[in-house]
Structure 1
Amino acid sequence: MRKPMCEGPRRVPWWEHGVIYQIYPRSFQDSDADGVGDLAGIESRLDYLAELGIDAIWLSPIYPSPMADFGYDIADYCEIDPMFGDLAGFDRLLAAVHGRGLRLLLDFVPNHSSDQHPWFVESRSSRENVKRDWYIWRDPAPDEGPPNNWISDFGGSSWQWDESTGQYYLHAFLKSQPDLNWRKPEVREAMMAVLRFWFDRGVDGFRIDVLWHIIKAEGLPDNPINAYWTPDRTQRDRLIQLYSTDQPEAHAISAEFRALADSYGDRLLIGEICLPNDRLARWYGTPDRLQVHLPFNFQLIENAWDAASLRRTIVAYEESVPWFGWPNWVIGSHDAPRIAARVGEAQARIAAMLLLTLRGTPTLYQGDEIGIGEVQIAPDRMRDPQHLRQPGLGIGRDRSRTPIPWDESANAGFSTVDPWLPLNQDWQSRNVAAQDRSSNSLLCLYRSLLTLRRSHDALAIGDFTLVDAADEVLAYQRRHTDECLMIALNLGDKTRPLTLPTDTCVAEVLCSTLAERPMDDTLAPNEGVVLRLREKR
């Protein structure tokens, strides 16, 4: 359903025409020689980000944490882990970000805390403690086993036995990440206070971790068995998460988050929600009860990399977005394999053009702009609990969390000591400084595309229409007022015809993924182009 006609121009919020860049703080820049990135390191690299052309920075968690899940197990929601700095350092970073005309988003992790959070320490102390039901505790099943059949996303039961109080507690992830009880009003009030704490400090928004997990079905019934599960899939997939995720009550919580964010003005909420289109779209809310601004769309991470599949995915997603919603696209994250590892060096350039020319807000992941690919990590250097608990499935996330190689100096300019994870093996040639010197590098292509988005409203906020194209070619138009741009992407390794819409011709080649060449009626192998069209006279 498309947006109804209205009188007068609509004010476009910054996040509709903006580009978000995700930083994994442990791996961006180390400033204090401990092999782990930190806030001061991020501050020292802000000019790079400003020159790249992004609009907002999203930081993965920087709160105090035992680091069992590298920051997604939070022990204090309103402090900074000493590994990264302190609140004064955070305030300096925020001021420096704003001073460059950028915005800063934090990760908000409402589904669970660390088992070392004072709330859980109290909750675990006795059944009579006032915070006992801030978490989800249950008696054993009649056979003395777990209360239901739910499986943790990291494998094994979602229930952990607590000997001292004689009950199980629920954890959707590690046993050191107990789930909060969002049916408890005091929990909701405490977590809303966390959001207010950071909004009052000047933060521009949040990416909300596993938002669709936030509340569980009343009564905690068994999840259905997945009849299509095979041993090459995770243990979690043995079940369909019918009762442990995506409950109707969660939407009211999401709407509360949105109302609070909107009360602070031009703030942004992004929801991490891994669901099919029809269920994902519900997280936009309704016109009179809005929810998150951007329910994250991960389909480019998961999609088969061919023109026909991408075309179907784009059409289905566009049709699912409500008229009052705005699309978004992601090709990489700290949880997913690198895009260059998935599609190869040549198609990583096509992926960059696709991400930055589709209708909607793009999110870039650090290092994808220089094409970091598959990183080989020795078994004794692997750190990810998801891999360590379920080895052999190839689901480890360390491969996408390796440090940024800045230059050819020792430790790639990331640190003066050995980094916490190894660098990409080709770091001496694949680094920011080397790509900065090459006009045909992937980094320069990203800069060119980001410059185009800033200078052409058709790319940033224009209408979107798919157009007919040859096999292995994905083509679409972006229009705004009198400007018409066409993007044509050759997903194959053979030359393909370039077909323009009837009665149009190329007025200008604005960008190509390959070196400059005379434009004809073909696309070279692995070539993508952004064209400005005009009517034939």
Structure 2
Amino acid sequence: MKLTWFRKGTIYQIYPRSFNDSNNDGIGDLRGIIEKLDYIKSLHIDIIWLSPIFSSPNDDNGYDISDYCSIMPEFGTMEDFDELLKETHSRGMRLILDLVANHCSDEHIWFEEAKKSKDNPYRDYFHWRKPGSDGNVPNNWKSFFGGSAWEYDEASGEYYLHLFTKKQPDLNWENPKVREEIYNAMRFWLDKGVDGFRMDVIPLISKAIGYPDAPDVGFRKIIEDVYANGPTVHEYLKEMNEEVISKYDAFSLAEGVGINESNAGLYINEDRKELDMLYHFDILECTIVNGKFEEVSPFNLVEMKKIFKNWRDAVHRTGWIANAMGNHDFARMVSRFGDDKKYHSESAKMLVTMLSTQNGTLNIYQGDEIGMTNITLNEIDEVRDIQSLNFYEENQLTKRYSEDLALKMINKEGRDNARTPVQWNDEINGGFSLNQPWLKSNPNSTEINVKNQDEDSSSILNFYRDLLKIRKRYDVFVFGDFEEIEFDNPNVYIYKKKLGKEEIMVLLNFSSSEETCCHKNGIRKESKVLVNNYEYVGIEDDRVLLKPYQGLILDLK
């Protein structure tokens, strides 16, 4: 397998609306990102991924695009983007954009034209169906954000499909004109020098033939079996690669919704020439049973180990994945998988130690490098996320949960947790903006912020910097063969990795108690410590002692 630049690299995801506000209007912008490029470079980042910056009415914060080739005015101008791209490249980093190709905005000219009449040239850019036999929706498909996936159009007497909000009509990829429109938009940005695309919900672009009713199973299973992996998805992805991506020094990163380890190879095996890599949802959703809010299970370390192993076994040496434990769609990493109170610093450092030593490209989400945590929104008026608001509104009708409990569920798993403004210093709004941000700033910004941690050699921020610098030197972190130890241990995750002459051991304590590991497996007292989130190294004659949430990497050679 080719060791290309994007496989060994580290990706830093920016959610522009919440990153840095340069003009103090409460909304992050492109010039705000330019101001922080040296900071991003200091993290030893290789690739910046921008969540959508295109023109949009913002029903879903930019994931509803009204023009694929223009910049959202709130974020700046095309000149600002050109400068951002130039300045990113001048620092030796790459830039990829978020391609939202499954759907667009209902305010896009394509959809506005499509609604005018059934014989409009743009009508077939979307999925239209007559009412079902009972006079209602064509089938029982549900939106990812709650309610039916079909919206009635009074003028034509037909429904259109929207797997997300009703302002995000799904594009009809069976129409070659639609595909060419998307390819032309990709070429527009690639010709500017963009280095690739993160492809939003790309496994959904091919719809099930005949739009069959979904079976009565959990929503995650419906996504895999009905919404994703459609009959022509691989034909389209091969075409996209052949017509566009392969013509440039660029790569494609798929959001792997609906993909599992058994069919991942169809998307990312190198010889198939479809996608370059994907990040899957099995880790991100490992505490979510069926639906983000209602059913949440306790974190189980052994189950997480199985997920990493299953994916590694499925794609090792044939395909490539990106590893993520946080992004703009999930609650904060340290709040979900660590301890954001007593062991905040220790657990944040331990988690990235694990993530950086899994085979694959490392994904870091903005703010995780300082251990940003979930926020408490005290009333529904403070909530901004459409998914959370739809859940709350639906609950108002069903009365399944009390209003207080519904808000608690939103606070635990809602997407606003990851979208609070980045905390740059201890000043007003965490230094993000002098004016009220579009989303409430986390009050803990007075303690958790970049300025405080930049000046503290033992901080989470400087741990990230040191770790990612070491990761660049050791290929075994990214490509090594695994040997897992004490696999069934529910509190400790231990593994050895070997690549050529490089050999490391990673020891991770996921608990708030001290843990004893009895299998030394080549550990010696004189083993070189590459990474440690404590000053303490508990190597004794026949055992290793790990402090709460300790993360340790040893060079066995």
Same fold (TM over 0.5): yes
Which residue identity is paired with 1:129?
Answer: N
2:119 to 128, 146, 153: 128
**What is the aligned partner in structure 1 of residue 534 from structure 2?**
514
**What is the aligned partner in structure 2 of residue 180 from structure 1?**
171
2:422 to 379, 404, 410: 404
Contact 1:261 1:268 in 2 (8 A): no
Matched, 1:272 2:255: yes
What displacement does 1:47 show?
Answer: 0.4
Q: Which moved more, 1:454-463 or 1:57-66?
A: 454-463
2:551 to 503, 506, 528: 528
Matched, 1:414 2:414: no
Give distance in 2, aligned partners of 1:42 and 1:202: 18
Contact 2:514 2:547 in 1 (8 A): yes
**What is the aligned partner in structure 1 of residue 35 from structure 2?**
44
Which residue identity is paired with 2:197?
Answer: F
Deviations 1:146-179 (A, max 9, x none): 1111111111111111111121111111111111
TM-score by length of structure 2 reads 0.89
Matched, 1:119 2:110: yes
**What is the aligned partner in structure 2 of residue 352 from structure 1?**
352
1:291 to 245, 254, 274: 274
**What is the aligned partner in structure 2 of residue 457 from structure 1?**
475
Q: Which moved more, 1:160-169 or 1:506-515?
A: 506-515
What displacement does 1:286 show?
Answer: 6.1
SS of the residue corresponding to residue 348 of structure 2 reads helix
Which residue identity is paired with 2:420?
Answer: T
Unaligned runs of 5+ in 1: 1-9, 230-235
Give distance in 1, aligned partners of 2:151 and 2:230: 23
SS of the residue corresponding to residue 79 of structure 1 reads strand
Contact 2:269 2:320 in 1 (8 A): no
Matched, 1:94 2:82: no
With over 3 angstroms needed to count, the CA separation of the structure-2 counterparts of 1:221 and 1:471, relative to structure 1, is closer
Identity %: 39
What displacement does 1:485 show?
Answer: 1.1
1:321 to 315, 326, 332: 315
SS of the residue corresponding to residue 485 of structure 1 reads strand
1:474 to 493, 497, 504: 493
Which residue identity is paired with 1:248?
Answer: P
**What is the aligned partner in structure 1 of residue 72 from structure 2?**
81
SS of the residue corresponding to residue 460 of structure 1 reads helix
Q: Which moved more, 1:406-415 or 1:471-480?
A: 471-480
- Structure 1 segment 107-506 matched on structure 2, within 5 A: 107-226=98-217, 229=218, 242-274=225-257, 275-285=259-269, 287=271, 289-303=272-286, 305-321=299-315, 323-342=317-336, 343-344=338-339, 345=344, 346-378=346-378, 379-391=380-392, 392=406, 393-394=409-410, 395-468=413-486, 472-498=491-517, 499-502=519-522, 506=526
Give distance in 1, aligned partners of 2:508 and 2:453: 23
**What is the aligned partner in structure 2 of residue 32 from structure 1?**
23
Give distance in 2, aligned partners of 1:517 and 1:150: 54
Give distance in 2, aligned partners of 1:507 and 1:421: 47
Give distance in 2, aligned partners of 1:369 and 1:298: 21
Which residue identity is paired with 1:277?
Answer: E
SS of the residue corresponding to residue 43 of structure 1 reads helix
Give distance in 2, aligned partners of 1:207 and 1:459: 23
Deviations 1:253-303 (A, max 9, x none): 12222224543343111111223221333221561x321111212333233
**What is the aligned partner in structure 2 of residue 232 from structure 1?**
none
Contact 1:281 1:322 in 2 (8 A): no
TM-score by length of structure 1 reads 0.92
Give distance in 2, aligned partners of 1:112 and 1:475: 42
RMSD between superposed Cα atoms in Å? 2.0
Give distance in 1, aligned partners of 2:470 and 2:86: 27
Deviations 1:118-157 (A, max 9, x none): 0111111111111111111111112221111111111111
What displacement does 1:419 show?
Answer: 1.0
Give distance in 2, aligned partners of 1:423 and 1:282: 42
Q: Which moved more, 1:491-500 or 1:182-191?
A: 491-500
Count of residue correspondences: 516
Give distance in 2, aligned partners of 1:142 and 1:177: 25
What displacement does 1:396 show?
Answer: 2.6
What displacement does 1:445 show?
Answer: 1.3
**What is the aligned partner in structure 2 of residue 15 from structure 1?**
6
Give distance in 1, aligned partners of 2:312 and 2:491: 21
Which residue identity is paired with 2:385?
Answer: D
Contact 2:129 2:159 in 1 (8 A): yes
Contact 1:161 1:168 in 2 (8 A): yes
Give distance in 2, aligned partners of 1:377 and 1:214: 35
Contact 1:506 1:533 in 2 (8 A): no
What displacement does 1:444 show?
Answer: 1.4
